[in-house]
Amino acid sequence: MKKSVYKSAMSRVRTSEDFHEETYRKLMREIEKTAQPNLIHSKESLHMEKAQKRKLTGWTAGIAACAVLAIGVFAMNRNDSGTSIPPASAPTASSPAASTPSASAPAETTQPSDVASKPPIMGKVAVNIDGVITEVSEDGKSFKVGDLWVTVTDQTRMGSNEPTAAPPSEELLQKEFKVGNIVSGYTSQDVSTGKVTADVIYNNMAPQN
Amino acid sequence: MYDSSELNESVRRALVLYSQSLIKVAFAYLKNIADAEEVAQEVFLAYLQKRPVFDNVEHEKAWLIRTAINKSKNMLKAGWFKSRNPVPENLSYLPAEENEVLQAVLALDKKYRIPIHLHYYEGYSIQEIAVILRAKPATVGTWLARGRLLLKEKIGGLEHEEICL
């Protein structure tokens, strides 16, 4: 086959004599350049690792502190809800109630069994006396409302001193306690004993027919 | 995968074996030896950086030529390249016939020029050229045929050469 003229021509095209050396030098410079960043990168990656570790430690400590705080707040809330008692309620001159007497608020609240370490919080509260008289003592000074015997003494105040209260009248506040009368008042004594002295009697009226 | 010493050795070997091939294919593209040498250097740099793994020597050479063609294309697209007025390569030192043929080939459109170069200078077949250029063999055959026709019209062509199929 006839030698290609084109191939011959192209083979004779002159190139740089130091092409190999120049290229080799360029490649070595590139190799050195890539080796340096590796060193730098390894230092940088070490710094990064340390920074990441510090960050992780910080976050862990923060989350742990939050958890401890949350548990503490939760525990305190539980304690508070276990020991709280309702405040002393002002006595009310209630309208004629149902036949059964009501002793609405206990004098003291007992602690739940799970909070045994703290002593019970004591407080004096007013307990309403509200109902229909079922029995009257011989002297007429005591009467029974439901299961509670109520005694009226000289210290018992008859009628209400409240600013908006109606003035006492014979119709609303009879002098004599009779069976069947509707009575209302309050006492600050412990109703669980079954016998109390009335602090105030607001009403003692005959039943409405 | 190479380690650095193996890589250096393979790059050094490729530099010895293929530097002329790469310069010449880039020259066929760019028509300027200085630019062609720069492209060839960039190809070896890419070899060093990308660290390709080859099945065999032919695969290696084809990869290098393909890279040289791509980098030559990139250079042609570059704005600074388009705006300059390069001095025509002085090929007067070549024999007259060879000078004429070379000038005629370099005057062809590059889609004819490159297959002709790969066929007549590197000795690749149409199938192999199709793989390198990522074209269909039929397309490469058409390019070759048209290129030869244009050369024939210009200088009487390369009709004495055989085509490897």
Residue from B2, B5, B94 to probe the interface with A (highest A Cβ count within 10 Å): B94
Confidence of residue A175 (pLDDT cuts 50, 70, 90): confident
Domain residue limits, chain A = 16-82, 86-209
- Helix ranges (DSSP H) in B33-165: 33-50, 57-77, 79-83, 96-107, 110-120, 126-133, 137-155
pLDDT in tens, B40-69: 999 999 998 888 888 888 899 999 999 999
Q: How far apart are CA B165 and CA B163, in angstroms?
A: 6
Contact B44/A27, CB-based, under 8 Å? yes
Q: For B68, which DSSP code? A: H
Mean pLDDT throughout A161-184?
80
Which range, of B20-24, B92-96, B110-114, B115-119, averages the lowest pLDDT? B92-96
* DSSP assigned state of A164: T
* pLDDT surpassing 50 at residue B165: no
Q: Do A5 and B162 touch (CB under 8 A)?
A: no
Fold of A86-209: OB fold (Dihydrolipoamide Acetyltransferase, E2P) (2.40.50)
Q: Does any CB of chain B come closer than 8 Å to the CB of residue A5?
A: yes
* Residues B11-15, mean pLDDT to the nearest whole number: 87
Q: pTM for this structure?
A: 0.52
Measured CA angle at B56 (ends B55, B58), to 5 deg:
125
Q: Does A24 touch chain B (CB under 8 A)?
A: yes
Record: contact B121-A2, CB cut-off 8 A: no
Could you give the ipTM of this predicted complex? 0.85
CATH number for B96-155 (one of 1.10.10.10, 1.10.15.40, 2.40.160.60, 3.20.20.100): it is 1.10.10.10
B126-133 vs B57-77: helix axis angle to the nearest 10?
A: 50
* In CATH, B4-83 is 1.10.1740: yes
Residue with tokens 């790469």: B22
Same fold, B4-83 and B96-155: no
Distance from CA of A32 to the nearest CA of B (A): 11
Q: Quick check: A114 pLDDT over 70?
A: no
A117: three-class secondary structure by DSSP: coil
Does position B104 have pLDDT exceeding 80, yes or no? yes
pLDDT digits (tens, 9 = 90+) for A53-104: 899 999 999 999 999 999 999 999 887 766 555 544 444 444 444 444 444 4
Interface test with B, best of A3, A4, A6, A22 (most B CBs within 10 A): A6
Nearest alpha carbon to residue A140 among A128, A155, A150: A150
- Cβ <8 Å between A23 and B40: yes
